[in-house]
């Protein structure tokens, strides 16, 4: 089973526009799922000034904007195989 590298931007704009909720979701995932995610916070790297919309996460190296809790859960399920939760 492969793990996921998940980076989440905790900068001002991202945090205000939803990163706070995303972190809550991630921290409250069931253990077996949570254990497979290498979660890491990152400071603003100016993606929010690039035109696309915050909040930003990076999943296995791929940047995704406008992340919501639902989309995040769906993405995790897809990537991890959907059987764990």
Partner 1 sequence: MDYFTDIAWAQQVKEGQRIGGDAVFLSRTEKDDRNICILSDGLGSGVKANVLATMTGRMAQRYVEEEKDIIRAAEIIMNTLPVCRERRISYATFTICEITADGEARILEYDNPPYIMIREGRVMEVEKIRRELNRPSAFKKEEILYSEVKLQYGDRLIFFSDGVTQAGLGTPGYPLGWRQKKVAQFIEGLMNTDRMLSSWHLTRSLTRQARFLDRGKAMDDITALSVYFRRPREILVVTGPPMDQKNDAPMARRIAEFPGKTVLAGGTTANLVSRELNRKLTINLKMRTEKVPPASEMEGITLVTEGMLTLTRVAEILEKKDEDALSGYDGASRFAALLINSDRAVFLVGTRINEAHQDPSIPFEIGIRRTIVKRIAAALETNYLKKTTTEYI
Q: Could you list the residues that contact partner 1 (CB under 8 A)? A: 8, 10-13, 15-17, 19-20, 23, 27, 39-46, 48-49, 53
DSSP label at residue 19: I
How many C-beta atoms lie closer than 10 Å to residue 49's C-beta? 10
Binding flag, residue 67, ligand FES (CB under 6 A) = no
Q: Does 18 bind ligand FES (CB under 6 A)?
A: no
The length of the chain is 85
State the helix-helix crossing angle for 69-80 and 20-27, rounded to 10 degrees. 40
Residue 9 binds to ligand FES (criterion: CB under 6 A): yes
12 near ligand FES, judged by CB under 6 A: yes
For ligand FES, which is the closer residue by CB, 68 or 78? Answer: 68
Q: Note whether 11 and 41 are within 8 A (CB).
A: no
């Amino acid at each position: 089973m492969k793990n996921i590298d998940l980076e989440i931007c905790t900068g001002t704009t991202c945090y205000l526009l939803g990163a706070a909720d995303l972190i809550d979701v991630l921290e409250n995932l069931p253990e077996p799922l949570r254990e497979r995610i290498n979660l890491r916070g990152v400071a603003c790297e100016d993606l929010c000034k690039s035109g696309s919309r915050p909040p930003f996460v990076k999943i296995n190296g791929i940047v995704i904007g406008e992340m919501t809790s639902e989309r995040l859960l769906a993405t995790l399920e897809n990537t991890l195989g959907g059987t764990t939760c």
